[in-house]
Amino acid sequence: MFKIIYMIFGIVVLVAYASSAWFGWEIANSGSRSRLGVPFIYTGFRGGK
Amino acid sequence: MSILRANCPSCAAPIKFMSGSTVVLVCPFCRSAIARTDRALEDLGKVAEIAQSSSPLKLGLRGSFKGNAFELTGRAQLQHQLGGFWDEWYATFSNGWVSWLAEAQGRFYVTFYQPLSADVILPAFEQLQVGQTVDAIPANSPLIVTEKGTATAVAAEGEIPYRLTPYEQSNYADLSGQNNAFATIDYGMSPPWVFAGQQATLADIGLADARLAERAARRVATGAMSCPNCGGPLALAAPDKSERVTCLNCSSLLDVNQGNLKYLHAVNPPASAPDFVLPIGAKGIFTDGRMFKIIGAVMRSVTIEGEKFYWHEYLLYEPSIGFRWLVHSDNHWNFVEPVNVAEIQASANMLGARSASYGGRTFRIFQDADAVVEYVQGEFYWRVEQGETVRAADYVSPPLMLSQEVTANEINWSLGTYMTNAEIEKAFGVPDLPKPWSVAPNQPFTGRFYYTWGALPLLLLIVVAVFMIPVSGLTSTVLSQQITLPAMANANAPQTIFSQPFDVRPNRNIRITASAPVNNSFADLDVDLINDQSQEVESVNVPIEYYQGVDSGESWSEGGQSQDATLSSLPGGKYTLRVEGTWQEWQQPIAVNVKVEQNVMRGVNFLCAFAVLLIVPVLGLFRKFSFESSRWKDSMFSTSSSGDSDDSGSDSDD
């Protein structure tokens, strides 16, 4: 059972990676000194200053 | 056919020598062995009556071997020096051949007299060693000595093709070769005679049908007896094959001699009384639906570095198959079957070999020590005794274990197959057997999946990553502009400036790079991406700081004059960059180069996915290493372990 769950998990990770590459999603704002927290998947503007 | 009619010189009853090859005829009336000589008939003495067994064979039975018809015309019953009996049947073929059909422990061996050329010298019986190869006998594969002993002809019936003298002893050696090859050297003759042939099934000799009928008829006969010591009832499962039985009531060890019981002595229970988890008489259904009955149980031990290690062995019996073993050690289980010695790599038959090969697998030595019988219970096909010692070596290749047991006169190999507790519980219908607390020598590692197939997602990730490079395209710059922020009114009043509009494509990540000529100072930039159509804003902070100097004669630097930030993709459209900044030297304007790129190749997503998918295979490998370490820590040969034993056992657990 755990094997099936693990394989499903692996497929989910693969699909997530392929989707992020296709749609341009980023896990994090990766500037060396930039803040983290930019959403992985764009969900709408968060407003300006 | 030359039939010789005569009268028995002992009882004068009429007798007939049916075959020209018959040398001795057992008178059916007085059981005298009558030899046919050149001059007259000679009375060699009386033989005992044949002890009836559950043998499917009988005199007069007709069969065929390799297309040649034969009839069973004689039978001799021979006694092993340790007490066991076996039958030798004599088959007279229609073409004049004579073969020997030996029957022992449910197995059959067809042999023919093998004349050797005069220059062939066989090793002397005294010099012969078990495990030794005898090259003097022509065969397709080397013949290995599996047993040497002394036989006594105790009973006979019918026609015998050699001079059988009642109770005469003769030395013999049994040899086995590959593909069921079998040979016997009879040292009762001078020079010794060789009989060569093969192990055969009843089907091989055209007697399969007879067997079924015989067995069905004999099934009604049971070995119901009573203990000569206490009078308690004893029911023998294999009365014709058993040599020893213990009384469950008074723990007496009894000798079984052709169905007769004789009290030997009481079985002394060891200091730690054995707790057999399966009872004598329990029946278990194993693979292929074979049902075996437990007829005996033994507690054995080995002493290693002064410490005794115990285990239990159950003797299983099924009339049509014979004997098997179920070994219970540290709550691990093994189903053990005999193996033809000749099928083992020849060098492994030498004592102390570090590896053995069988069935295309290489087995590594795990243990080599003297195994001692500590306690017995039930019924056995050999003359078991407390204290009986054999040299036992175990070779492992999970889930299999090859075991070699050697005495001065015999060498035996057996193959154990690891069975889980659940399989034993299911086979015997018993719940909650004690759980094992360690790794068994041949216990298969069941987590192999996690570093083999479990690494498949990892491999696919690399494939997908490579595939996505050309699909997603290369990095493109959508804005590159130098903007100058005017001097600030004070240190806390940031300046803001807008870039020229530029196009952003959807589904592409965005990297904003800002450079400023800071030197031992900083510039803190808040960069907003403004959608010109919807006026919605996405903000990032790009702090730039660069410090450098010389300390104790060594130059140093920290930070840089360029920083970047990367965003997920935004809806496509026209955007403007709003740059709001404060900087250390606020009294002076500062020139800032801003660059916006899309479709930037980054490794973060890949590395994160890679790391996540690597966890389980790495844990699997770690578990494998730990498992193998546990397996080999109990081995006498642990220094040779490398933890790389590959088990092809089923990956059945989770």
pLDDT of residue B210: 58
Contact B454, B623 (CB under 8 A): no
Closest chain A residue by Cα to residue B446: A3
Between CA B72 and CA B77, with CA B75 as vertex, the angle to 5 degrees is: 155
Q: Look at residue B209 in the predicted model and tell me its pLDDT.
A: 65
- Tokens representing residue B576 in the block: 């403007």
Q: Is A21's CB within 8 Å of B565's CB? A: no
Alpha carbon of B502: minimum distance to chain A alpha carbons (Å): 18
Please state whether the predicted TM-score (pTM) of the whole model is above 0.90. Answer: no
Q: List the one residue out of B288, B294, B289, B363 whose CA is nearest residue B324.
A: B294
- Asked if B515 contacts B596 with a C-beta cutoff of 8 angstroms, the reply is no
Q: Is B465 on the interface with A (CB under 8 A)?
A: yes
Residue B15 bridge partners (DSSP): B6
CB B110 within 8 A of CB B90: no
Interchain pair A1, B542: CB under 8 A: no
Q: Give the mean model confidence (pLDDT) for residues B633-638.
A: 84
Yes or no, beta carbons of B507 and A24 under 8 Å apart = yes
| pLDDT of A1 higher than 70 | yes
> How far, in Å, are A30, A32, B467, B566, B573 from residue A23 at the CA level?
17, 23, 15, 14, 16
What is the rounded (10 degree) CA torsion for B67, B71, B73, B79?
A: 60
Rounded to whole angstroms, the Cα distance separating B456 from B650 reads: 19
B654 interfaces chain A, CB cutoff of 8 Å:
yes
Q: Which two tokens stand for residue B591?
A: 């020139």
Q: Looking at B193-243, which runs of residues are DSSP E strands? A: 193-200, 223-226, 233-236
Neighbours of B306 (CB within 10 A): 5
A7 vs chain B: nearest CA distance in angstroms? 7
- Phi and psi torsions of B218, nearest 5°: -85, -15
Task: Give the span between the Cα atoms of B585 and B443, in whole angstroms.
Answer: 73
Using CA atoms, how far apart are residues A32 and B229, in angstroms rounded to an integer? 91
Which of the pair, B403 or B567, is modelled with greater confidence?
B403
- Which of B515, B532, B567 to substitute to test the interface with A, most A CBs within 10 Å? B567
Angstrom distances, CA of residue B155 to CA of B103, B561, B562: 15, 108, 105
What are B409-434's pLDDT values in tens digits? Answer: 888 899 999 999 999 999 999 998 99
pLDDT bracket for residue B448 (50, 70, 90)? confident
> Which chain B residues touch A35 with a CB distance below 8 Å?
540-541
CB pair distance less than 8 Å for A48 and B537: yes
pLDDT in tens, B8-67: 888 888 888 877 778 888 888 898 888 888 778 888 888 888 877 667 788 888 988 888
CB distance B599–A24 less than 8 Å? yes
Mean pLDDT of all residues belonging to chain B: 86
CB contact under 8 A, A20 and B605: yes
> Residue A38 is nearest to which of B464, B540, B563, comparing CB atoms?
B540
CB proximity B613 to A under 8 Å: yes
Biggest alpha carbon distance in chain A?
Answer: 50
Considering only CB atoms, which chain A residues are within 8 Å of B599? 24
Distance from CA of A43 to the nearest CA of B (A): 9
Which residue in A14, A27, A42 is closest to B608 by CB distance? A27
CB contact under 8 A, A14 and B461: yes
Considering only CB atoms, B526 lies closest to which of A18, A21, A49, namely: A49
ipTM score of the complex?
0.79
pLDDT of B128-180, one tens digit each? 888 888 988 888 888 889 888 999 988 888 988 888 888 889 999 999 888 88
* Any A CB within 8 A of B529 CB: no
Of A9-23, B81-95, B363-377, B594-608, where does mean pLDDT reach its minimum? B81-95
pLDDT in the model for residue B211: 52
Residue B394 β-bridge partners:
B367, B403
DSSP type of residue B553: T
Residue A36 has pLDDT above 60, yes or no: no
- Who contacts B37 (Cβ-Cβ below 8 Å, separation ≥6)? none
Q: Nearest C-alpha of chain B: how many angstroms from A5? A: 10
Q: Per-residue confidence at A10, pLDDT binned at 50, 70, 90?
A: very high
B619–A contact, CB cutoff 8 A: no
B149 closest CA partner among B84, B236, B52: B84
Which residues of B are less than 8 Å from A42 in CB distance?
A: 568-571
Nearest CA in chain A to B449: A3
Q: Distance (Å) from the C-alpha of residue B469 to the closest C-alpha of chain A? A: 9
Q: By the CB < 8 Å criterion, does B615 face chain A?
A: no
Whether residue B63 contacts residue B8, with contact meaning beta carbons closer than 8 Å, is answered with no
- pLDDT number for residue B188: 86
Distance separating alpha carbons of residues B31 and B153, to the nearest angstrom = 13
Chain B: nearest CA to A12, how far in angstroms?
A: 10
pLDDT winner (highest mean) among B91-100, B118-127, B423-432: B423-432
Cα B596 from chain centre:
64
Residue by residue, DSSP assigns B139-171 as -SS-EEEEEEEEEEEEEEEEEESS---TT-EEE
